[in-house]
């Protein structure tokens, strides 16, 4: 009997080895990813190789490779899918939270929903666009100019904030499994890309090495080197005479060699066509596609120009081995996503479709919407002692008016999904005030040059106790290369940063009634509102706040949440503050280099309580160049309301000088303090944080003095004029 058992075991062993020997290496899950990828690529014909380098790849039935479309979006929740998904605030609003923990959780929840859709789509054999796991997000371009319509997709104007928020998102989205990616993020648009939209296919950016390394590249370096982002998207524009997708410096010297990037690169959609059609740097599609591949652009979004690679190989312009370099990167990503393994091996393959819009996801959307809202102004009215906001819930009649008061489309921004329920400001107020008479009117459009007669509408609000005007602009006016031309807007960009005149005129008419007026502004960018700042007692900026924006606004208006959002961009006073839009020099741009007085500074945002900052202590006040120090300050909620606060750390090099930033954000922490409570907040300041970028693009640490400021806003005179607390400050000397 023992002999029979031994014989049986031996047969099983030999049969298993036989089966394994007959299994193609790329299907053998016991082999390394590299071995499997190399085997799979070796089995492809030339035509099959080229077709796998298009964003919409056909299946290869003989090898068991299903179709796959690389193009998917999840800027602030899974976008453009046929399913209802959770919609978080637009990216610029999420940046205003200064909340890396919430951002990481948002990335995690988003990839949960993305996996759920992917798993359900595979079950239905649906391989269409927006079902894959390669998301072309985040947009980490620097929002250098408020006129850029796509600035709403970014995390603002500061390289450090962009790096930290972007890192949190990537880590949340991609997961922490040692073998499998939950989803694949993609840092875009590499590099030096921020409008103008109408000329993005033709302009050739010329920037100094100092601006390149101090402003335009830090966030990309952070995501590639430290966050290990899976993908990078190269931009439409040219840089220093070469298309970004074919740039020696950007694509080869920096991305692949200096940063050792091993992931995949996709072109922006149609960007390879631009090589010869708009940049006119190549004679035809074949030479353009050859150049892009040899510079490391692995996928063409567009499915047109790369088809000429078949002929390019036959013509000897590049070899199949050159294609193999890209193909191995592409299939490595797909293998890391578990696409060639049994679902039982991939824990993320078990996420069900019922995960979509789950309660924790909706709760986070509301939390982030609340945290994103920035209180810009809050003053007493009519001789009252207290500030106008928050409003009394026992109010008898309220007028809620304006083009964004009941506008779900505005709240969802662009690159958005479609949630089952979107709560507008009007609905949010109705949900909160069950016994209040509410008058509603759209009142004005966004932009109008025709003379307006507001008299009838003004008569309708004269008996209201308070008027809430919900205006601003719309993602239907600002966005990506849009066919729109209205006063103040062109091609997706803005020609003026001023609030459209019709809205200011209407606010003037409302103020003339003598009624208290609150201005709720929705926007994806900075708006100049100098008259409103002088005349409207309550102003909040609500961005494009996602599905829960209306609830969040109502919570803040009526005091159920103390505002804690901070501006991730500078709000300038007028168009005259801005350099030419197409000038990519950072001179006099953003809070780091702007020498004028802002309307609302970077990092600014009021609360319903007061915070004080004191007792800044440095672990050392004199250090050598290679030393790290700790900076600790006491933050006290000296008011009567519990609230979050974003504690911000800025460094200022003294005495300053040419091309040296006026201020640099180097740390931030969101904390919660009860009324009367205090907390010590500590930051670690490393030598890298104290370095400056010189004219050669090198990061250097020079001897001298650095002022260290810890506070609730940019440490400027303007911030304190607007009501921000004085920062705690100290000086560090470097020998």
Catalytic residues: 268, 478
* Cα 559 from Cα 643, distance rounded (Å): 11
Residue 372 is classified by DSSP as H
Burial of residue 513 (CB within 10 Å: 0-12, 13-18, 19+) is middle
Distant-in-sequence, close-in-space partners of 489: CB < 8 Å, separation ≥ 6: 447, 477, 478, 495
Find out whether 594 and 577 touch, Cβ atoms under 8 Å.
yes
Strand order in the sheet with 466-472: 374-378, 538-541, 517-522, 466-472, 397-401, 437-441
What's the gap between Cα 291 and its chain centre? 30
Q: Which two tokens stand for residue 407?
A: 């506008």
Please name the residue that has the structure tokens 């880590």.
Answer: 171
3-state secondary structure 53-120: CECEECCEHHHCECCEECCCCCECECCCCCCCCCCCCCHHHHHHCCCHHHHHHHHHHHHHHHHHHHHH
For strand 489-490 and strand 466-472, is the pairing parallel, antiparallel, or unpaired? unpaired
Find out whether 4 and 18 touch, Cβ atoms under 8 Å.
no
Find out whether 351 and 119 touch, Cβ atoms under 8 Å.
yes
Q: Which two tokens stand for residue 78?
A: 């899974």
Question: Which residue, 668, 612, 633, 539, is CA-closest to 96?
Answer: 668
For strand 238-239 and strand 242-243, is the pairing parallel, antiparallel, or unpaired? antiparallel
* Cα 714 from Cα 663, distance rounded (Å): 8
Q: What angle separates helix 425-432 from helix 549-557, to the nearest 10 degrees? A: 50
Find the radius of gyration of the CA atoms of the chain.
Answer: 28
Q: Is the dihedral of CA 403, 406, 409, 414 positive or negative?
A: positive
Q: Which two tokens stand for residue 651?
A: 């460094």
Which of helix, strand or coil describes residue 41?
Answer: helix
Side-chain half-sphere exposure of 293, counting CA atoms within 13 A: 31
Burial of residue 260 (CB within 10 Å: 0-12, 13-18, 19+) is exposed
First to last CA, the chain: 84
Q: DSSP E strands: which ranges in 461-542?
A: 466-472, 485-486, 489-490, 493-494, 517-522, 538-541
* Total number of residues shown for the chain: 735
Question: Which residue, 311, 309, 307, 237, is CA-closest to 267?
Answer: 237
Find out whether 213 and 139 touch, Cβ atoms under 8 Å.
no
Buried/exposed code over 514-536 (b: 16+ C-beta within 10 A; e: otherwise) = ebbbbbbbbbbbbbbbeebbebb
Q: What is the largest CA-CA distance in the chain?
A: 103
């Amino acid at each position: 009997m023992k002999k029979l058992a031994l014989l049986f075991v031996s047969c099983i062993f030999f049969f298993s080895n036989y089966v394994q020997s007959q299994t193609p290496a790329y299907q053998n899950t016991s082999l390394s990813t590299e071995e499997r990828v190399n085997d799979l690529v070796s089995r492809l014909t030339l035509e099959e190789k080229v077709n796998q380098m298009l964003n919409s790849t056909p299946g290869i039935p003989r090898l068991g490779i299903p179709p796959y479309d690389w193009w998917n979006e999840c800027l602030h929740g899974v976008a453009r899918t046929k399913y209802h998904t959770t919609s978080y605030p637009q990216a610029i609003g999420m940046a205003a939270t200064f909340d890396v923990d919430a951002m990481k959780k948002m990335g995690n929840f988003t990839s949960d929903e993305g996996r759920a859709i992917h798993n359900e789509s595979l079950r239905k054999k649906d391989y269409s666009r927006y079902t894959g796991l390669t998301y072309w997000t985040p947009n980490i371009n620097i929002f250098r100019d408020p006129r850029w319509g796509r600035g709403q997709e970014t995390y603002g104007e500061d390289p450090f904030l962009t790096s930290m928020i972007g890192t949190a998102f990537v880590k949340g989205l991609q997961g922490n499994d040692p073998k499998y990616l939950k989803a694949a993020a993609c840092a875009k648009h590499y590099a030096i890309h921020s409008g103008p939209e109408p000329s993005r296919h033709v302009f050739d950016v010329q920037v100094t090495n100092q601006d390149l390394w101090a402003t335009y590249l830090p966030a990309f370096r952070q995501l590639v080197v430290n966050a290990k982002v899976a993908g990078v998207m190269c931009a439409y524009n040219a840089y220093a005479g070469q298309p970004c997708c074919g740039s020696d410096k950007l694509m080869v010297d920096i991305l692949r060699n200096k940063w050792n990037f091993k992931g995949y690169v996709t072109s922006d959609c149609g960007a390879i066509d631009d090589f010869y059609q708009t940049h006119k740097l190549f004679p035809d599609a074949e030479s353009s596609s050859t150049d892009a591949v040899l510079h490391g652009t692995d996928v063409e979004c567009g499915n047109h120009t790369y088809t000429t690679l078949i002929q390019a190989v036959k013509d000897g312009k590049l070899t199949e081995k050159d294609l193999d370099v890209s193909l191995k990167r592409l299939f490595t990503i797909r293998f890391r996503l578990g696409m060639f393994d049994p679902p039982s091996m991939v824990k993320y393959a078990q996420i069900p479709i019922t995960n979509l819009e789950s309660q924790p996801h909706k709760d986070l959307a509301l939390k982030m919407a609340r945290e994103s809202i920035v209180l810009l102004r809050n003053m007493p009215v009519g001789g009252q002692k207290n500030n106008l906001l928050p409003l009394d819930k026992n109010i008898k009649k309220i007028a809620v008016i304006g083009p964004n008061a009941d506008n779900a489309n505005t709240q969802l921004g662009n690159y958005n999904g479609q949630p089952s329920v979107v709560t507008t400001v009007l609905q949010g107020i109705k949900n909160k005030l069950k016994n209040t008479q509410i008058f509603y009117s759209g009142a004005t459009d966004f932009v109008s040059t025709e003379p307006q007669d507001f008299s009838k509408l003004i008569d309708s609000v004269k008996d209201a106790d308070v008027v809430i005007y919900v205006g601003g602009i719309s993602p239907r006016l600002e966005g990506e290369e849009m066919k729109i031309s209205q006063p103040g807007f062109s091609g997706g960009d803005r020609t003026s940063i001023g609030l459209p005149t019709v809205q200011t005129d209407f606010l003037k008419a409302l103020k003339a009634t003598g009624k208290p007026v609150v201005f709720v502004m929705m926007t994806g960018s900075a708006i100049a509102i100098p008259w409103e700042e002088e005349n409207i007692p309550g102003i909040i900026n609500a961005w494009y706040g996602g599905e829960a924006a209306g609830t969040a606004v109502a919570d803040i208006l009526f005091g159920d949440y103390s505002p804690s959002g901070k501006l991730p961009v500078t709000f300038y006073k007028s168009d005259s503050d801005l350099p030419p839009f197409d000038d990519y020099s950072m001179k006099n741009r953003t809070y780091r280099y702007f020498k004028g007085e802002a309307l609302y500074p970077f990092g600014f945002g009021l609360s319903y309580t007061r915070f004080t900052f004191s007792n800044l202590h440095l672990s050392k006040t004199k250090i050598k160049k290679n030393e790290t120090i700790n900076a600790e300050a006491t933050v006290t909620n000296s008011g009567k309301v519990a609230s979050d606060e974003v504690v911000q750390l800025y460094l200022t090099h003294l005495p300053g000088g040419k091309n040296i930033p006026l201020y640099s954000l180097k740390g931030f922490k969101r904390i919660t303090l009860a009324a009367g409570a205090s907390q010590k907040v500590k930051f670690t300041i490393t030598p890298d944080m104290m370095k400056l970028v010189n004219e050669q693009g090198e990061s250097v640490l020079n001897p001298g003095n650095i002022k260290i400021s810890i506070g609730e806003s940019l440490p400027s005179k303007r911030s304190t004029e607007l009501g921000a607390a004085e920062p705690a400050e100290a000086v560090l000397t470097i020998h």
